[in-house]
């Protein structure tokens, strides 16, 4: 489950256009459910436990995208598919690789004459910036760094090829527009004036560094194509008034190095069970196998988030391949899509839907499983699941999923978070969203937030395997119906 609500709130308007109901007809289950019940028995608590023991072990170091633990998890899932004779989609080799651009602000250096300043303690670098390095550059103070009407901090100053020092905020008793509060606007003006870098004197360095340090200490990731549109802005270094007094008042020259942007790769892991009669139609079952890595030096094992969904996906794949081995091939095809990059911003699923292995128009639905192994603070027993998105694109999918529950599972279906005004925005916070925005029907299966969410304490000991088992079977029965019913859901 992705945590940065702010980053994705901008896309909400975009999605509204696709949330129209399609026509609903009365729904009956059409698949052979004597067989589904038989093969559901291949989903076992033992397998769920054994696979989760591997995925949530400390040796995987929290499976952070691009890190060795994520690679180990990817290989584990791939080897699971291979050892169960679950093929990769044609023309792939289980992995769908994608590039991630990383900005690691810790790699910035700033030297004043012969003094090397300490990152965090003395300075930080912030915002979009190109990689750029210069030595022994002259420094010039430009007041507040503003030109607005008659007000001009750059009057008679030549800042070309120099480092400019700028005060944060606005000059007192002037008529400059409030928009000059923006350091970005000042950075842009300094860039246009030909300066090589900005040094901003913060009014309250200590409170801003407290807020920003977690960002700076964790490299920030973006999808590769966002990185290609890298900023042409000069670096913006921030310092305190004290550091200005101690180092810059008498400074002759400044040297700096901004070499913070680099590429790394991550992979989605794909297993595929081809259908027979309608094999060109594909159901996607997705879960993200990445997690957040470390938190203050402690490993976050992500047993629930989303080890629980990943092992569910693996067990469901096993049940379907057992059926196929025994001659009960699914009518439609199934793609088991274990994605990475979810915690960084739903990257893996976005990459998949931007570069689908099977045409999106043939993708009948995405059943996404993210955090299904715990009981949240609202419920007191295991007999519930939150369903999100099921009715937003296909009422038929919603009805099938409800009927499957009535017939085979019998738990409370909780739609609290399906409301369009859910303040948590869960609909936008896991991988199904990238399918939904392409008008593909989705269901997000979720058992809710708990106090170990994104903490080092999200461990396997806290997983309720009865609940996990029940949920995995629920998704399996719904999937069985979707890939075996007479016609594709509408």
120: region left, alpha or beta (phi > 0 left; psi from -120 to 50 alpha):
left
Q: Give the residue nearest to Zn ion (CB).
A: 1
Tell me the CA distances in angstroms from 404 to 93, 223, 275, 294, 413, one per residue in order.
34, 37, 21, 39, 11
* Residue 300 in contact with Zn ion, rule: CB under 5 A: no
The residue range among 62-70, 252-260, 305-313, 329-337 that interacts with Zn ion, by the rule CB under 5 A, is 305-313
CB 368 → Zn ion: shortest distance, Å?
A: 13
CB 458 → Zn ion: shortest distance, Å?
A: 9
Closest to Zn ion by CB, 408 or 446: 446
CB 396 → Zn ion: shortest distance, Å?
A: 30
The residue range among 35-43, 278-286, 300-308, 374-382 that interacts with Zn ion, by the rule CB under 5 A, is 300-308
Helix (H) or strand (E) holding 434: helix 432-436
What are the backbone angles phi and psi of residue 356, rounded to the nearest 5°? -70, 145
CB 18 → Zn ion: shortest distance, Å?
A: 24
Alpha helix positions (H), 84-204:
183-192
d(Cα 418, Cα 395) in Å, to the nearest integer? 13
The residue range among 190-198, 239-247, 250-258, 298-306 that interacts with Zn ion, by the rule CB under 5 A, is 298-306
Query: Which residues from 310-349 bind Zn ion, rule CB under 5 A?
Result: 343
CB 292 → Zn ion: shortest distance, Å?
A: 7
Closest to Zn ion by CB, 199 or 468: 468
* Residue 305 in contact with Zn ion, rule: CB under 5 A: yes
The residue range among 90-98, 127-135, 301-309, 480-488 that interacts with Zn ion, by the rule CB under 5 A, is 301-309
The residue range among 1-9, 125-133, 396-404, 466-474 that interacts with Zn ion, by the rule CB under 5 A, is 1-9
* Residue 1 in contact with Zn ion, rule: CB under 5 A: yes
* Residue 55 in contact with Zn ion, rule: CB under 5 A: no
CB 304 → Zn ion: shortest distance, Å?
A: 9
DSSP assigned state of 429: S
**Are 364 and 446 contacting, i.e. CB atoms less than 8 angstroms apart?**
no
Closest to Zn ion by CB, 153 or 305: 305
Tell me the CA distances in angstroms from 412 to 48, 278, 381, one per residue in order.
22, 33, 10
**Are 101 and 227 contacting, i.e. CB atoms less than 8 angstroms apart?**
yes
CB 454 → Zn ion: shortest distance, Å?
A: 6
The strands making up 253-258's β-sheet, listed across from edge to edge, are 115-116, 109-112, 253-258, 132-141, 163-167, 197-201, 236-239, 123-125
Cα torsion 379, 383, 389, 393 to 10°: value is -150
Closest to Zn ion by CB, 235 or 373: 373
Closest to Zn ion by CB, 62 or 441: 62
Helix (H) or strand (E) holding 299: strand 298-299
Mapping DSSP to helix (H, G, I), strand (E, B) and coil, where does residue 432 land?
helix
Closest to Zn ion by CB, 267 or 343: 343
Q: Which residue has the tokens 């709130």?
A: 9
Q: How many residues bind Zn ion (CB under 5 A)?
A: 3
CB 23 → Zn ion: shortest distance, Å?
A: 35
List residues binding Zn ion (CB under 5 A). 1, 305, 343
């Amino acid at each position: 489950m992705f945590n940065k609500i702010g980053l994705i709130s901008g896309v909400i308007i975009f999605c509204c256009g696709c949330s129209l109901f399609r026509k609903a007809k009365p729904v009956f289950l059409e698949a052979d459910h004597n067989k589904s019940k038989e093969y559901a028995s291949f989903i076992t608590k033992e397998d769920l436990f054994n696979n989760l023991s591997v995925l949530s072990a400390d040796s995987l170091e929290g499976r952070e995208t691009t890190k060795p633990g994520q690679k180990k998890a990817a290989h584990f899932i791939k080897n699971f598919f291979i050892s169960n004779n679950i093929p990769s989609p044609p023309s792939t080799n289980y992995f769908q690789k994608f590039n991630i651009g990383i900005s690691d602000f810790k790699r910035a250096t700033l030297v004043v004459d012969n003094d090397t300043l300490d990152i965090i303690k003395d300075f930080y670098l912030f915002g979009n910036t190109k990689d750029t390095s210069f030595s022994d550059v002259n420094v010039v103070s430009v007041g507040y760094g503003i030109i607005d009407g008659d007000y001009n901090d750059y009057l008679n100053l030549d800042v070309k090829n120099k480092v400019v020092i700028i005060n944060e905020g606005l000059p007192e008793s002037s008529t400059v527009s409030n928009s000059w509060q923006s350091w970005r606007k000042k950075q842009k003006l300094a860039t246009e004036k030909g300066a090589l870098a900005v040094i901003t004197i913060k009014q309250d360095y200590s409170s801003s560094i407290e807020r920003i340090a977690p960002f700076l200490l964790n490299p920030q990731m973006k999808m590769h194509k966002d990185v290609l549109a890298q900023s042409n802005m000069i670096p913006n270094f921030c310092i305190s008034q004290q550091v200005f007094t101690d180092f810059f008042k008498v400074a002759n020259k400044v040297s700096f190095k901004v070499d913070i942007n680099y590429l790394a790769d991550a992979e989605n892991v794909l297993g595929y069970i081809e259908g027979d009669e309608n094999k060109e139609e594909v159901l996607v079952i997705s879960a993200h196998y990445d997690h957040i890595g470390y938190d203050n030096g402690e490993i976050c094992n992500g047993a629930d988030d989303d080890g629980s969904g990943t092992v569910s996906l693996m067990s469901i794949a096993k049940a379907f391949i057992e059926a196929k081995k025994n001659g009960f091939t699914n009518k439609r095809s199934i793609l088991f899509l274990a994605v990475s990059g979810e915690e960084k911003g739903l990257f893996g699923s976005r990459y998949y839907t931007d570069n689908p292995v099977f045409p999106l128009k043939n993708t009948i639905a995405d059943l996404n499983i993210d955090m299904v192994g715990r009981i949240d603070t609202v419920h007191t027993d295991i007999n519930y699941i939150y369903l999100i998105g099921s009715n937003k694109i296909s009422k038929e999918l919603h009805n099938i999923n409800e009927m499957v529950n009535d017939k085979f599972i019998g738990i409370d279906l909780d739609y609290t978070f399906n409301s369009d005004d859910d303040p948590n925005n869960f609909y936008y916070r896991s991988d199904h969203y990238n399918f939904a925005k392409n008008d593909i029907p989705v269901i997000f299966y979720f058992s809710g937030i708990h106090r170990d969410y994104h903490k080092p304490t999200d461990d396997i000991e806290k997983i309720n395997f009865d609940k996990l088992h029940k949920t995995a079977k629920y998704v399996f029965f719904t999937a069985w119906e979707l890939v075996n019913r007479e016609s594709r859901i509408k």
